[in-house]
Amino acid sequence: MRPVATSHPMSRRSVLAGLASVPLAVTVAGPAAADEHPAADRLRRTIFIAGDSTAAPKSVAKAPETGWGMALPFYLVNRVGVANHARNGRSSKSFVDEGRLDAILADIAEGDVLVVQFGHNDSKADDPARYTEPWSTYQEYLTRYLDGARERGAVPVLATPAERRRFDSAGNAYSSHGDYPEAMRALARREGVALVDVQRDSLALWQELGPQETTRYFLHTDDGRVDNTHFNTPGAAAVARMVVRGLLEEGVLRPRDVRRLEEVPEPAWFTWLPQDPA
């Protein structure tokens, strides 16, 4: 499709600077370059996503709402596929209880990657079907994902939840996720698995952009929708780039697995589903 652009792991400062400086509409054109790497590098691998509505695929009826998982393929070469199992409203607990982790584990294979991002709905203490306590049941459920992936020779990755758009009266971005990100970081250290710190990087980007500019990344629409949790296409692309760069920094992806990290797909590049996925 388009040229493969090599990239290298970047510092957090340079990552955030790159995210903030990229324009919100970039036209991408040109045929894909042939893969010049050995045949072993051309073997297909898949990134599976287990997560909630911030990552999930969306239907046409919800457009322009966009999960970051919808933007992820834009930044990956063709041999790296994406299986987006994230679904609206799920927590680490309800995703397991509904059999969705089992569905992933039935398909995932050696060398594949499982990215696990929960936290938005785990904190809903009034909903026993979704609620987990950060330092006990949240970590226990997340461990199921890690164990299941490792048992199948896949690479598990924990990704802290993307931060909501929240600013105090002084214009400072602040966290809305309580102890859940730190509980996930602690689990990653304890289990020795890769961590992509989306909460940290998204909070820093929202702070850099400020209250007004961040509205261009969230679901603020001309028809009056004001949603400070879910993304439009530029917001989904920004978070997808955080995930890809984090996977590079952790050595889960190689520079030749990714492309065009300084670009943003136009809305027309995205595909919304005819109806909400089951």
Q: What tens digit of pLDDT does each residue of 178-190 get?
A: 999 999 999 999 9
Which of the four pLDDT bands, split at 50, 70 and 90, describes residue 41?
low
User: What are the structural domains of the chain?
Assistant: 12-30+43-261 (3.40.50.1110)
Q: Chain-centre distance of CA 23, in angstroms?
A: 20
pTM reported for the whole predicted model: 0.86
Q: What is the pLDDT of residue 37?
A: 47
Q: What is the pLDDT of residue 131?
A: 98
Indicate whether 36 pLDDT > 50: no
Q: Chain-centre distance of CA 250, in angstroms?
A: 15
Q: Which residue has the higher pLDDT, 114 or 223?
A: 114
Indicate whether 164 pLDDT > 80: yes
For 125-163, the DSSP string reads TT-TTT---TTTHHHHHHHHHHHHHHHTT-EEEEEPPPP
Would you say 158 and 141 are in contact if contact means Cβ atoms under 8 Å apart?
no
